[in-house]
Amino acid sequence: MKAWRVVRKGSPREALELQDVALPDPAPGQIRVRTSATALNFNEIDGCYGRYRTVDPPLPYTLGMEAVGEVDAAGPGLEAWIGRRVATTGLGATGAHAEWVLGDANMSFESPASLDDEEAAAFFFPFHVAYLSIFERGHLHEGETLLVHAAAGGVGSAALQLGVAFGARVFATAGSAEKVAFCKELGAELAIDYRSEDFVPAVLEATGGRGVDVVCDLVGGEVTTQSFRCMAFGGRHMMTGFSGGIEAEDEGGLVPRPILFGNFSVGGVLMAYGESPRGGPMQVNLVPRAVGESIQARLVEWLDAGRIRPLVGRVADYREIVDEYERMEARATTGRSILRWPEKDAR
């Protein structure tokens, strides 16, 4: 089968090769998916450079976190998955950009029938991460305010939509006039181009000096510490991503003073579902699979009601992966960038 492999460290153009590799067989707890669409993630670019320490397997390895397709094989006891169209996460958050991918059944969900393959690939990860950030961890309540950073991206636009659907006042930051307009189209009450304006005074003015209740922070670094200046009493700042530079994931940049004096909370968000409370080589705290199923049910309910929708920014042939990563690295994308893989009969 064809697979995009990281064979050396460097830019995606330098690091990636399309190679033929053996078809994998699912082990216990795993399903095998015949890929129809995959979503691109900025973390995968970091993986090519070798700066993403959380997912940094030995070379060579198959890149990719998410895939949509039909299950054609499954481990013992999981035969009921066979024939279902699912969105799945590749084992160890790798392996998805290939014609077949092995996924953990705990990190797999049946794709809504109302969505085509590309839309399904733009639905799963962004909306689950955003829901975990805003509601499960951020505990957004009715009538509260929500600030979303990088709100024109995949997870950011999902968070913005969820906040609007819930009835919150939603503020957004993005990196261009076009992206600001995009956020307003999605329902943001206030959208700020962080490259030309300090978002803190704008947010404080919009809230009468009170500040925001929940921040979905998908950027990290300096944006995180800036956000501390506009947190409301009892607010919840959710560290959900590091699009501003993955290095911030391991930097000791948090200073206790503004957190103490601000009387707000800082929390972390990781979308990793499992049956056991802890798992993986880093012994992370896993979100119970039952929570993921509850989130999926709520998201599909809102999808069917027309309150949210997956945002596909671009669709490209799987052979154009390098060009699509370069657009993403240049911050020239909105919504999700999706790769289309060959139909079954074309392989």
Mean pLDDT of 23-38: 97
Q: What pLDDT is attached to residue 255?
A: 79
Q: How confident is the model at residue 52 (pLDDT cuts 50, 70, 90)?
A: confident
Q: What pLDDT is attached to residue 235?
A: 98
Three-state DSSP at 268 gives strand
Q: What pLDDT is attached to residue 20?
A: 98
Q: For the chain, give every domain's residue range.
A: 2-123+310-346, 125-268
Q: How confident is the model at residue 17 (pLDDT cuts 50, 70, 90)?
A: very high
Mean pLDDT of 118-147: 97
Q: What pLDDT is attached to residue 1?
A: 96
Amino acid at 312: V
Q: How confident is the model at residue 249 (pLDDT cuts 50, 70, 90)?
A: low
Q: What pLDDT is attached to residue 346?
A: 62
Strand partners, 236: 214, 265
Instruction: Kindly tell me the burial class for residue 129, based on how many C-beta atoms sit within 10 Å of its own C-beta (0-12, 13-18, 19 or more).
Output: buried
pLDDT > 90: what percent of the chain? 83
Gap between the Cα atoms of 252 and 238, Å rounded: 16
Q: Which two tokens stand for residue 244?
A: 């501003």
Cis peptide bond prior to 60, omega within 30° of 0: yes
Strands 2-6 and 61-62: antiparallel
Considering the four listed CATH numbers 2.60.40.420, 3.90.180.10, 3.40.470.10, 3.10.180.10, the one that applies to the domain covering 2-123+310-346 is 3.90.180.10
pLDDT tens, position by position, 84-106 = 999 999 999 999 999 999 999 99
Amino acid at 222: E
Q: Which two tokens stand for residue 108?
A: 């797999």
Phi, psi of 141 (to 5 degrees): -110, 160
pLDDT > 70: what percent of the chain? 94
Gap between the Cα atoms of 195 and 94, Å rounded: 33
Any idea what DSSP says for residue 48?
H
Mean pLDDT of 252-273: 87
Mean pLDDT of 241-249: 68
pLDDT tens, position by position, 270-291 = 999 998 777 655 668 899 999 9
Instruction: Kindly tell me the burial class for residue 263, based on how many C-beta atoms sit within 10 Å of its own C-beta (0-12, 13-18, 19 or more).
Output: exposed
Amino acid at 270: L
Q: How confident is the model at residue 36 (pLDDT cuts 50, 70, 90)?
A: very high
Gap between the Cα atoms of 325 and 8, Å rounded: 16
Q: How open is the CA angle 295-141-308, to the nearest 5 degrees? A: 45
Q: What pLDDT is attached to residue 234?
A: 97
Strands 16-20 and 2-6: antiparallel
Q: Which two tokens stand for residue 148?
A: 């979303």
Q: What pLDDT is attached to residue 286?
A: 92
- Average pLDDT over the chain, rounded to an integer: 93
Q: Which two tokens stand for residue 189?
A: 């009450």
Q: What pLDDT is attached to residue 246?
A: 62
Its CATH class, for the domain covering 125-268, is alpha beta
Strand partners, 267: 238
Gap between the Cα atoms of 77 and 282, Å rounded: 27
125-268 matches 2-123+310-346 in CATH topology: no
In the sheet with 61-62, reading across from the earlier edge strand, the strands are 16-20, 2-6, 61-62
On whether the CB atoms of residues 154 and 324 are closer than 8 A, the answer is no
Q: What pLDDT is attached to residue 241?
A: 87
Q: What pLDDT is attached to residue 171?
A: 98
Mean pLDDT of 217-221: 91
Span of 38-42, 186-190, 270-274, 279-283 with lowest mean pLDDT: 279-283
